[in-house]
Structure 1
């Protein structure tokens, strides 16, 4: 289950309903998918063949279609990151800068862990959303954020897009974030 850490206060929010309620106030969609649907051999595998990626997509076909219909997403794929990913550190540096998009950034975690750092309302400031398998998040367009891996440095996630070429990051310079890093 996702857990939230508000950076200004170190307050932690846990429990599916509490997380969902907090994220709704921040205009971020949060859902949870059933991880037991995924074949056991894929639940902790972080380097996937094209066939295995298709198996993950087929497993969550109904959930993906439902989310896509509700939110207007037109295409989806799988991203896998682990210590075996070539140039992982350089790739993470690209992700680890506050940015925005002209469409939602959606991740449905099917294995591993990741973290979104999101700029909340003025009274909240930046907060971390620590995600694990089964967690689904949609950060709205134009909301400053970034995504990175947690200490385990491995994740498999379904990404959904409106634009068929995928999202493009637009840097968001924010001096408040620099003083707020933890």
Structure 2
């Protein structure tokens, strides 16, 4: 289950209802898929073949199609990141830059853990959304944010896109952002 950490105060928000209420108040979509639907052989696997990625898509096809129908997504794929990923440090540098998109950025975590760092439009400032298997999050378009891995440095996620070219990041220099 996702947890929130408000960076200014180090306050933590836990529990599904509390997390969802906080994210709703910041226009961040939060849902939960059943992580146990994923075949056990794929639950802790972070180097995936194309066939295994297709199996993940197939496993969550109903959830993906429902979300796509409600929110206008046209395409989806699976991304897997770990220390075994070629050029992982270069990829993380790209992800760990505060940026925005012209469409929302949605991820459904199926294995591992990760963090979205999102800037609120109010006095809360930046907050971390710590994600684990089953968590589905959508960062609104034109919202300052970035993504990084947690200490375990392993994640598998389904990504959904409106644009057929996938998301394009527009880097932002934000003096309010302080790496924590």
Shift of 1:121: 2.5
Distance 2:155 2:179 in 1: 23
User: Shift in Å at residue 122 of structure 1?
Assistant: 2.2
TM-score (ref. length: structure 1): 0.98
Give per-residue Cα distances to partners, 1:37-69, cap 9 Å, x unaligned: 110000110011111000000000000000000
Answering whether residue 42 of structure 2 is matched by residue 39 of structure 1, we say: no
Aligned position for 1:30? 30
Structure 2 residue matching 1:175: 3-state secondary structure: coil
Instruction: Map 1:61-100; keep pairs closer than 5 Å.
Output: 61-100=61-100
Provide TM-score, normalisation by structure 2. Answer: 0.99
Secondary structure of 1:156's aligned partner:
strand
Gaps of 5+ in 2: none
SS where residue 163 of structure 1 aligns?
A: coil
CA RMSD between the two structures: 0.6
Name the counterpart of 1:144: 144
Residues matched between the structures, number: 180
1-side partners of 2:122 and 2:17: how far apart? 23
Rounded Cα–Cα distance in structure 2 between residues aligned with 1:57 and 1:29: 20
Structure 1 residues 33-182: aligned runs within 5 Å: 33-177=33-177, 180-182=178-180
| Residue 123 of structure 1: how far off its partner (Å) | 1.5
- How far residue 173 of structure 1 moved from its aligned partner, in angstroms, is 1.2
- Runs (4 or more) in structure 1 with deviation over 4 Å come to none
Deviates more, 1:55-64 or 1:116-125: 116-125
SS of residue in 2 equivalent to 1:58 = helix
Give the 3-state SS of the residue equivalent to 1:89 in structure 2: helix
